[in-house]
Structure 1
Amino acid sequence: MCQSTTPVVPQNPPAHVCGCGGHAHNSTPEVGRRVPASHEMKMPEVPFPSPRVLAVAGAERLRELVRHHHGLLRQSAIGHLFAADDAEFAALVERIADYVVEICGGPALFSPANGNTCMRTRHFPFSIDERGREIWLEKLYQAIVETGFPEELREEYWAWMEPFTVRMINRRTTKAQPVHLPYALARTRYAGLPTL
């Protein structure tokens, strides 16, 4: 856990803030001692898309966005998180597209076949850190632009996906909270990205 080169002084020991519970005032751990609860990462509210997204974009355009996004991800620095086999990858992407269409108000194609839609739990087997989230968002923005996703829906769709990705982080590499990236800021940040 925590390792410190500073000796522990019984009188007025310095406050320790990492939350590991490894700095008792004596060398023998106190029986029944507890490490206080803490919230390492703030989970933002996730506003799911309105039925307008499906009504304007249509199911096929949502599927096209998901396919293109995941194609970009597969070629990125986090491509190792996806199946190397083309058939397995295509099947995965179609399940994700089913999920997106269902969440946007389309037919229930994901949940009857796959059960509970708790995506945070489904992503636990994969190591997802803050940098992986940033790559995911960058490629989402690129896919939105390259597929010509309707301009009037981009901010609403992004407002769902951006905080959603915070909840997928399961391996922290920094104590800082993940950067919140509203759509207006994403447009500025990713304006210079090369596109197809």
Structure 2
Amino acid sequence: MDYKISKTEFGQKPHFDLPTPLFYQELGEDGLVKLFNDFYDLLVDSDISNFFPQDEEELAKVKSHNVKFFIEACGGPKYYTQAVGHFDMIKAHEPFSITEKARTEWLGCMQQVLANVDISQDAKKSFWNYLETFSKHTVNVDTGLKLPEDIVKV
């Protein structure tokens, strides 16, 4: 599958569609928990590890909290809404300086874990398309970073 990453136009908040229920149906709740445990294990060793707790106990809390959000976003039970209520993506990420480079690193870690999940390409594509667009809402620092395809070669 092609995990394309498009550039964020700083300040724009593009529309995104939630993943189709197929992703949740094929992966199941236990599969989503494993996916996000593996994902966060990659993140704490990535170039953006400074955004995530390095303490195992604290990281476990982050994993548990965030997987509730993604279970619900993927069509599963409303664990996140029951525990937290409404989620404001912009406010949740304000304390962090999130650049396009950080977003790309975050998505790169997700690419790695998705590649190892044994579900249909349609389910993966639906989830990837959601994350790729949804993640643009977290970028709150404009560094003027150019993606490789934006660089004109002479």
What is the TM-score when the length of structure 1 is the normalising length?
A: 0.66
Q: Which has the larger radius of gyration?
A: 1
Give the drift of 1:171.
1.1
Give CA-to-partner distance per residue, 1:52-90, whole Å, 9 cap, x none. Answer: 221122111111111111111110010010012110111
Secondary structure at the aligned position of 1:110 is classed as helix
Secondary structure at the aligned position of 2:138 is classed as coil
Q: Aligned runs of 1:33-182 on 2, under 5 Å?
A: 40-174=10-144
Q: Which has the higher helix share?
A: 2
What is the TM-score when the length of structure 2 is the normalising length?
A: 0.82
- Structure 1 segments unaligned to the other structure (5+ residues): 1-38, 180-196
Q: In structure 2, how many angstroms separate the alpha carbons of the residues matched to 1:175 and 1:79? A: 20
Q: In structure 2, how many angstroms separate the alpha carbons of the residues matched to 1:171 and 1:119? A: 15
Tell me the number of residue pairs that the alignment of Structure 1 and Structure 2 aligns: 141
Secondary structure at the aligned position of 2:79 is classed as coil
Give CA-to-partner distance per residue, 1:101-139, whole Å, 9 cap, x none. Answer: 111121111122122112222111111111000101111
Q: Give the 4+ runs in structure 1 shifted more than 4 A.
A: none
Give CA-to-partner distance per residue, 1:155-188, whole Å, 9 cap, x none. Answer: 1000100011111001110187x89xxxxxxxxx
Residues 113 and 173 of structure 1, relative CA distance in 2, 3 Å threshold: same
Higher RCO (CA 8 Å, separation ≥ 6 residues): 2
Q: In structure 2, how many angstroms separate the alpha carbons of the residues matched to 1:95 and 1:40? A: 27
- Structure 2 segments unaligned to the other structure (5+ residues): 1-8, 149-154
Give the drift of 1:45.
1.3
